[in-house]
Amino acid sequence: MIKSEDLSFISSVEDRVDKAAAENGIQRSVFSRPDTVITVNGKTVKKSYRIKAGDEVHINYTCELFTGLEARDIPLDVIYEDENILVIDKRQGLVVHPAAGNWDNTLCNALLYRYGDSILSDEDDIRPGIVHRLDKDTSGVMVIAKNPDALAFLSGEFKDHRTRKYYIAVAEGVFPNRHGFIDKKIARSTRDRKLFSVTEDENRGKEARTEYFVLSQLKSSALLLIRIYTGRTHQIRVHLSSIAHPLVGDVLYNKKKSPYPLMLHSALLFIRNPKDKKEMRFSSAIPERFESYLAENGDAGLKDVLVEHLLDPDL
């Protein structure tokens, strides 16, 4: 489960706030999480902020606790597996981690059933092999580490942006340009902590970069191929919404109701294998909801165009 924690202390040293907090018992990894909020004397700051003796520091963060997590026999669509990694095609609707409203029947429960306690690592939070996440309503390619060494290696690969991730999506509106970059920091919303938004505040948020290609401009929406260079929570959904092109079926960031579910799919993932460090390419089939949407709103032949782009060796 997810547990909210708070730490407050009066600084006795001059140092970076994350280092000072570590001396007070918080793991450094806490400061890489998007929902960690740091304030110094009531002002929100970054983890690199230098505090002075006498400063009042307050940190709100969450702990992911999987103690008592039960194994569940949940079928997984396996794309590839070896002694170090499992690559799956995550179905839409499957929750990755236990969270409020979804404490059971998650991917973590399925992994415990499949591998038992061998999938657990207790070096930080107990995360059953999870090195990156897909939202509940995002489908597609996802890699899981099967042992602590693979977990450490892949976590570093994602953290240092050495992986390549491509998505397909359908976004609202007419795009004036066929290609574009969105470089906007993303922070937790000040109005609703379940949501995120772009920000220009230098003391808030994390850098985020998204690249998009318009594969086909439909009448009132567009089929996109998207590459993300960072992995922020809700990144694609927030970035596209920020330029007035929210995703079709996005109940969080799109005010327009749609008969379709979220039109976002992790289509391609490039990673290095933990064993030999050679790059591997994994792809997921085009979901039925995309085929239906293209047939009803564009041209059924667009599926072939989409497949051709996903097979492009230069991606």
Q: What residues act catalytically?
A: 135
The Cα–Cα gap between 43 and 51 comes to 12
- Please choose, from the candidates 299, 182, 298, 291, the residue with its C-alpha nearest in 3D space to the C-alpha of residue 229: 182
Count of Cβ atoms closer than 10 Å to residue 24 Cβ:
12
| Longest Cα–Cα distance in the chain | 66
CA distances, 279 to each of 85, 91, 119, 309 (Å): 13, 25, 23, 19
The Cα–Cα gap between 56 and 77 comes to 50
E strands, the chain, in order:
2-10, 15-16, 37-40, 43-44, 50-51, 56-64, 78-81, 85-90, 139-145, 164-172, 179-183, 185-188, 196-199, 209-217, 221-228, 264-272, 279-283
